[in-house]
Chains A and B, each alone.
Chain A
Amino acid sequence: MKDHQTPRDAWPSPELDTLTLGMLPLNDAAPLVVARERGFFATHGLDVTLQVESSWAGLRDSMQLGLLDGAQMLPLMPLASTLGLDGRPTPMLSALTLNLGGNAITVSNALYASMQAADPEAMVQAPISARALAAVVRQRRAAGEPALCFASVYPFSSHHYQLRYWLADGGVDPDRDLELRVVPPPLVAEQLEAGWLDGYCVGEPWNTLAARRESGRVLIGSHAIWQHGQEKVFAVREAWADAYPATHRAVLRALLEACVWLDGSAQRVEAARLMCEKGYLDVSPTVVEESMAGEGTPAPHGVSVFHRHAANFPWRSHLRWYADQMRRWQHLDVAAPALADCLARCVRPDLFREAADDLGFNYPLVDVKSEGEHASQWALEGRRGDIAMGGDQLLGGGRFSGQG
């Protein structure tokens, strides 16, 4: 695989050598932490400081104000920033996906019990659908009880739209039948315990944590809602990418190498320790280890895929899927041609391919793929041979062409 690698001395040298990158205290910030702590940034000539932000809004402000060179972001954030839906209109783009999957939906013990009582048959089917929840909603409405309250982590989040997808698939109207809130990840478990929330969709370790504390039950992982769906991206401002193309390319190379490293399950445990010991995550290391662990281990729901199955490739169709979900719920009112232009600006597979070529890595030749066609592994033609892709099923058998 390495024979097509661009010779190291032919790599353009970074215009900047000192960078500050933003992240949130989440498991899937692991590629940034690993790239820094294991020296991948350093080998590409970059001295990187990681700034841990406490909210997506704070991270967005720092990015829009130019205080960060780049950041871990939710897939819809660059689009929302470019369109001016979120904060000050600031064009942003992503040329690398950090991970696929990693979220789960957890409900309170009380709601879990009500769901079992209302529709026991639905609750033994896997994956657990929202069908039993729909029955609970009907019962509560008939009894004049207040609407159930669910949370996700940010308005423009993958969690928000995965939660809506799951609810709608089970016959629950997220706008009419429930109250949807935004609650920061570190607070969801305690609000579930306090009874302010009946359920939430959040990334790890916050589902594992609720399960360990026995304050909630994890119903379904995001892989069962959208198998190998895009979760976090690495984003920069468009103006920054234009000004510092070689620096951007070096960051992408370092992150790619970190993601490869993270693919092994032994490394996951080490990464979990790194995140806790170096102070990036303020959660018990055992919880992080358990929730970070690879497949075949006890963590069943929120397993992130960091590299295999072309996980890092920035599919234009992945962002299109989220944009379509926004349109589905009338959260996005942009004419189709304008949206297509914006997607082309916000997702840059061309820049990914340059970085992958530097390293001699394989990558897809097309920018768009369909979703919902493959139940298990399949082969996709790549630049350096076939790529073993993962399944891409959508809950309820949904299909998505990837086209606008």
Chain B
Amino acid sequence: MTVKVLIVDARPERSRALEQALRDAGFEVVTRADEHDDLYAIMTRVKPDAVIIDAALPSRDTLEHMGQLGRRFPKPMIMLAEEETPDLTREATSAGVSAYVVEDVQPALVRSMVNVAIASFEAHRALKGELTKTQTTLSQRRTIERAKSQLMETHAFSEDAAYQWLRKHAMNRRLTIHEVAQAVLASDDFES
């Protein structure tokens, strides 16, 4: 599979060397951009699998936004940090943020650097997905609990009767219990 890497760097000598190293490491498509290019247009066109960006570029915020648009551009980002920022790279590495690397990275390391970044990004995304799912379930459960108490109050149902009521309406209307619970909470006179 072709892994596409986009390099965003304001220093042509450095990005040329990095591009060569990436090609040597077997990455087949590499596009270089500098901060004055239209990153939204380039990202849409190139659809890179990973982005390497100079950590000192203001355009990082632009890429952060594209990352947040999520579904469209979820990309692992690798930060190129200056030699003078050893703290940043050391702390980032020890914190498990593998995305910060110093700029004179050896060509031999380039392949694993990109692969590790993609892998840890995918792992992080999977974890985040799980988390979102758990949070959704929790919030749905809360909605159902609240609907149940409301039904117990207004109809003097037992807890079990309230749940059976929700379940019956869900089945009859081809809705989930959560959706029925939302409808109950949305209107006081949800009946029939």
Contacts and interface: CB of A to CB of B under 8 A. Distances in A.
Nearest to B138: A335
| Majority SS at the chain B contact face | helix
A54 B10 CA distance: 13
Contacts of B97: 61, 65, 88
Interface stretch (A114-122, A177-185, A394-402): A177-185
Interface residues of A, number: 27
A61 B87 CA distance: 12
A280 to B, nearest CB: 15
Given A65-B88, A187-B58, A196-B41, 5 more contacts: A57-B60, A88-B97, A184-B61, A186-B58, A187-B35
Interface stretch (B14-22, B62-70, B183-191): B62-70
A185 B62 contact: no
A196 B38 contact: yes
Closest 8 pairs (CB-CB, A-B): A184-B58, A182-B65, A55-B60, A65-B91, A57-B60, A57-B64, A55-B61, A54-B58
B187 to A, nearest CB: 20
A65 B92 contact: yes
B142 A88 contact: no
B110 to A, nearest CB: 22
B139 A182 contact: no
B181 interface: no
A154 interface: yes
Contacts of A154: 61, 64-65
B142 to A, nearest CB: 7
Contacts of A183: 61-62
B116 interface: no
Interface string A362-403: 000000000000000000000000000000000000000000
A362 B100 CA distance: 45
Contacts of A88: 95, 97
A182 B100 CA distance: 22
Interface in B134-172: 135, 139, 142
B57 A54 contact: yes
A161 to B, nearest CB: 14
Contact of B64 (A155, A185, A186, A190): A155
B71 interface: no
A22 to B, nearest CB: 12
B38 to A, nearest CB: 5
Contacts of A54: 56-58, 60
A56 B65 CA distance: 11
A62 B88 contact: yes
A194 to B, nearest CB: 8
Contacts of A225: none
Contacts of B61: 55-57, 153-154, 182-184
Interface string A57-89: 110011001110000000000000000000010
A156 to B, nearest CB: 9
A56 B55 CA distance: 11
A314 to B, nearest CB: 25
A180 to B, nearest CB: 9
Contacts of A333: 135, 139
A71 to B, nearest CB: 14
Contacts of A55: 57-61, 64
B88 A187 contact: no
Interface in B82-96: 87-88, 91-92, 95
Interface string B37-81: 010110000000000000111111111110010000000000000
A61 B60 CA distance: 11
Nearest to B55: A58
10 contacts: A54-B58, A55-B59, A57-B61, A57-B63, A153-B61, A155-B64, A182-B65, A184-B59, A191-B38, A335-B142
